[in-house]
Amino acid sequence: MAPVTVFGSAVFANAARVLVCLEEVGIEYEVVEVDYMAKEHKGPEHLSRNPFGQIPALQDGDVMLFESRAISKYVLRKYGKASNVDLLREDSAEEAALVDVWTEVEAHHYFPAIAPIVYECVVFPARLGMQPNQKVVDESLEKLGKVLEIYEARLSKSKYLAGDFFSFADLTHFPYTYYFMKTTHASLLDKFPHVKAWWEDLMSRPSTKKHGAGMFLEP
């Protein structure tokens, strides 16, 4: 058995965040499927891993973790140096702080704007057969556009969000942006050339290519 086990496959955006980090550090891991439609994530076995009944969870020996951003940082922190992968930049207080800033921006500004579009246009149609709530989509597109204006300004000054180095601050954007780019609203990025170039750079990495192929929900 692999030393690290992820409960939840790349089809789940938050699990994909963890899986690309595991790929970046290059360690062996195992993926255990959690049947969402059968509500296995709400059953006692999975609740023992994640008491909130959400996906993913990660087990590493006696350590059991949930919350994908925290899991991802754990993976990068524990296994990154041995693999010469430094996506948290913790040897520099200033660089680490900038990684933290833009990781927080993703969680508190970018994600709340983009996630409703992904749910309405990809997840709900694929999982529940529902049509998108256009009001929710339109309001979220407006919010996302305002967030991307800030990203465009930032990325006009540096190649990546935390500076001229690739970091977890960039990688954490992968899963929801990947699904957003599968929707009919992907052309929004055309208005932000620096953001689009940054996204294309992110998608050129082996880790995102591999797990993008595993994200097969279709709108």
DSSP sequence for 140-184: HHHHHHHHHHHHHHHHTTSSSSSSSS--HHHHTTHHHHHHHTTST
217 in a structural domain: no
Identity of the residue numbered 90: E
Say if residue 77 is in the same domain as residue 127.
no
User: How much is the average pLDDT of 36-55?
Assistant: 93
Domain range for 144 = 93-211
| Mean pLDDT value of segment 23-44 | 92
Do 9 and 47 lie in one domain? The reply is yes
CA separation, residue 208 to residues 141, 183, 199, 203, 212 (Å) = 24, 18, 11, 6, 6
Kindly indicate the confidence band of residue 206, based on its pLDDT and cuts at 50, 70 and 90.
very high
Report the DSSP pairing between strands 4-7 and 63-66: unpaired
Q: Is the pLDDT of residue 219 over 60?
A: no
- Greater model confidence, 212 or 50: 50
The mean pLDDT of 28-35, rounded to a whole number, is: 93
Two tokens, residue 175: 């899963």
Backbone angles phi and psi of 111, in degrees to 5: -60, -45
Whether 178 and 107 map to the same domain: the answer is yes
CATH of the domain at 169: 1.20.1050.10
* CATH code, domain carrying 60: 3.40.30.10
Do residues 213 and 26 make contact, with C-beta atoms less than 8 angstroms apart? no
Q: pLDDT tens across 89-115, in order?
A: 999 999 999 999 999 999 999 999 999
Q: Domain check: are 133 and 74 in the same one?
A: no
Q: What is the residue-averaged pLDDT of the chain?
A: 94
Q: Decide if 131 contacts 125 (C-beta within 8 A).
A: yes
- In terms of Cβ atoms closer than 10 Å to its own Cβ (0-12, 13-18, 19+), residue 108 is exposed
Q: Which helix (H) or strand (E) is 86 found in, with range?
A: none
| Predicted TM-score of the model (pTM) | 0.94
pLDDT band at 128; cut points 50, 70, 90: confident
Residues 9-25 have a mean pLDDT of 94
Q: Are residues 159 and 70 in the same domain?
A: no
Residue 30, SS3 per DSSP = strand
- Give the number of domains in the chain: 2
pLDDT at residue 215 is higher than 90: no
Provide mean pLDDT across the span 125-131: 87
